[in-house]
Amino acid sequence: MFSMPRVTRIGVFTSGGDSPGMNAAIRAVVRTAINEGMDVFGIYRGYEGMIDGQIEQMERHSVSNIIQRGGTILKSARSKRFMTYEGRLQAYQSLEKFKINGLVAIGGNGTFTGAQQFEKEFNIPVVGLPGTIDNDLYGTDFTIGFDTASNTVVQAADKIRDTATSHDRLFFIEVMGRDAGYLALWSGVAAGAEFILVPETKTYIDNITRLLKHDMRKNKTSGIVIVAEGDDMGGAYDIARQVKERLPEIDARVTVLGHVQRGGSPTVQDRILASWTGFEAVHALIEGKSSVMVGIEDKKITFTSFEDAINKKKNFNFGGLELARILAL
């Protein structure tokens, strides 16, 4: 077992899908590290940039006026090369040129999987920050970007409901969530959706049509269905088609929100979450922690191993689906 060297020069990068609040996290890491007398370097384009040596030293002014900006100033990219030992070796050699001996990785499952392997092979400690709008990482109540994305979905759903009501239409709104339905659940409850369809539960089209018929008998002529893209019956288009086949009298329309959910100025909650966890990540490296994700549970900072953050299943609040069903009656 290797002993970890004392961290004096930190590299920070963002990887995978961008999420609102990543810039706030970068800002917190850079300024905390400098305050601790450390050198800090920005690594551009995630693992791809690490391999290619796209690294530059950052100062306090490097992160001025970014806390309110969406996206990531360090850019992000997925890297097939980093999945190979040769790619990881090249990344290590790039870090060696700058004498970087500690990393803060901001991202999700894929980011942490790569970081875990990299640390095992090259003995560079890595601490992760949960940056994903999916909110699917075990070990934190919320992930950076989730709150902003939820608000984006709700704002869109509110506008769509206006036209749904005006034209007596049923709108199927598809949101991101290939493997997890947290975004669909929270935004669906907040938007007053009539139905919320998520990967965690099986969808029965006949149940939906039966309830829609019940609504029609009560003269309810419009509605909203929030569909996570990873629902077992398919995306919003597939589900809308199947409902339309059973109830041809319904005027069904589909809106896929797509990447608009990733963008926008982060909410207060995402800025605070990013700032707090970024601050703690630097101190975790100083204290010798590694291969852990910084999160917040019950308003307290937690450190969860990459192994658990990646592999353990976060508890899904099925009660939220029942809440939505009752409130939509």
Joined tokens for residue 130: 């949960």
Indicate the CATH number of 9-145+266-311 among 3.40.50.450, 3.40.190.10, 3.20.20.480, 3.30.40.10: 3.40.50.450
pLDDT means over runs of 10, the chain (329 residues): 74 95 98 97 97 97 96 93 96 97 96 96 97 96 97 96 91 94 96 94 90 77 91 92 91 94 96 98 97 96 96 90 84
Active site residue 251: no
Q: Which two tokens stand for residue 53?
A: 């040596």
Contact predicate 157/261, CB 8 Å: no
pLDDT recorded at residue 219: 74
How confident is the model at residue 238, as a pLDDT?
93
Query: In which residue ranges of the chain is CATH 3.40.50.450 found?
Result: 9-145+266-311
Question: What pLDDT score was predicted for residue 5?
Answer: 66
CATH 3.40.50.460 location in the chain: 146-262
Cβ atoms < 10 Å from Cβ of 60: 12
Contact 133, 143 (CB under 8 A): yes
How many angstroms separate the CA atoms of 22 and 278, rounded?
A: 10
Q: What is the pLDDT of residue 1?
A: 42
Q: Does domain 146-262 have CATH number 3.40.50.460?
A: yes
pLDDT of residue 3: 56
Instruction: For strands 252-256 and 170-175, give the pairing.
Output: parallel
Cα–Cα distance, 54 to 73 (Å, whole number) = 13
* pTM (predicted TM-score): 0.93
pLDDT at residue 266 in the model: 98
Neighbour count for residue 59 (Cβ, 10 Å): 12
Catalytic residue among 18, 39, 52, 134: 134
